[in-house]
Amino acid sequence: MESVAPKVTVVVPTYNERDNLPKLVEFLAALHIPNMHVLVVDDNSPDGTGDVAEKLAIDAPIPVGVLHRTVKDGLGRAYVAGMTRALDEGADIVIQMDADLSHPSEAIPRMVETLTQTDAAVVLGSRYVAGGAVASDWPWHRKALSAWANFYVNAILRLRVKDATAGFKAWHADTLRAIDVHGVQSNGYAFQVEMNYRTVQRGMRIAEVPIRFEERTDGVSKMSLGVQMESALVPWKLRFSGRGAKQNRARG
């Protein structure tokens, strides 16, 4: 009997990404990954991204679903809603990917291969392992913030990953269930950190494959002072939440 390819759902949160979303779906379709689906999670974007997503649901070359939410509630909330929906709809693998084209879709096959052929519970598209890079036009203050955030997070939580705030990841559905993704509270950088921490805390392995991270050319980042403040507090909150991190056995 012919075996069915695992269902791969790419969860894409959007807020004002009207121009980026069609390009992203086109890039994803060009990968020709069997049984790949896209789930757009739009927070009622004023620029009409939700309508663009509905149009893609009708005419894109790969299956596109749309989850409409009524208010802008942060990237983390959008991912949690999207991942929960993806699990309910039978995803085997969930790709977490921003809509702004900063994450290279061509890295997905290698991420999925690493996920399925090793004991990794999640694979990060990493800017900071050998072979990874950040576009030179990424603003210097974002580079500095990212470097500081990685140092800070690893010092407090001992995640032992090179790119602790990476937003491009491939998850086994079972990992998302094991870490109880529904219970994740944080947004922005802190969302990434809390997801990683929950994984490491349960003794599961995080792997990293190199990517080149591009600066978005359309639209603007939604990174705010509130997101940065949350990012500073969340590692401490997690650290003292009473359970203590297990070491990431992914080292080496």
Ligand X SMILES: Nc1nc2c(ncn2[C@@H]2O[C@H](COP(=O)(O)OP(=O)(O)O[C@H]3O[C@H](CO)[C@@H](O)[C@H](O)[C@@H]3O)[C@@H](O)[C@H]2O)c(=O)[nH]1
Which residues of this chain interact with ligand X, rule CB under 6 A? 13-15, 17, 41-43, 72-75, 78, 98-100, 102, 146, 165, 167, 188-189, 191-192, 221-223
State the nearest-atom distance from the C-beta of 77 to ligand X, in Å: 7
Q: Which is nearer to ligand X, 5 or 47 (CB)?
A: 47
State the nearest-atom distance from the C-beta of 28 to ligand X, in Å: 14
Q: Which is nearer to ligand X, 17 or 230 (CB)?
A: 17
State the nearest-atom distance from the C-beta of 175 to ligand X, in Å: 18
Q: Which is nearer to ligand X, 116 or 221 (CB)?
A: 221
- Angle formed at CA 97 by CA 152 and CA 183, multiple of 5 degrees: 65
Q: Which is nearer to ligand X, 116 or 218 (CB)?
A: 218
How many residues in total does the chain contain?
252
State the nearest-atom distance from the C-beta of 92 to ligand X, in Å: 23
State the nearest-atom distance from the C-beta of 191 to ligand X, in Å: 6
Comparing every residue's Cβ against ligand X, the nearest one is 167
State the nearest-atom distance from the C-beta of 73 to ligand X, in Å: 6
Q: Which is nearer to ligand X, 212 or 222 (CB)?
A: 222
Q: Which is nearer to ligand X, 35 or 228 (CB)?
A: 228
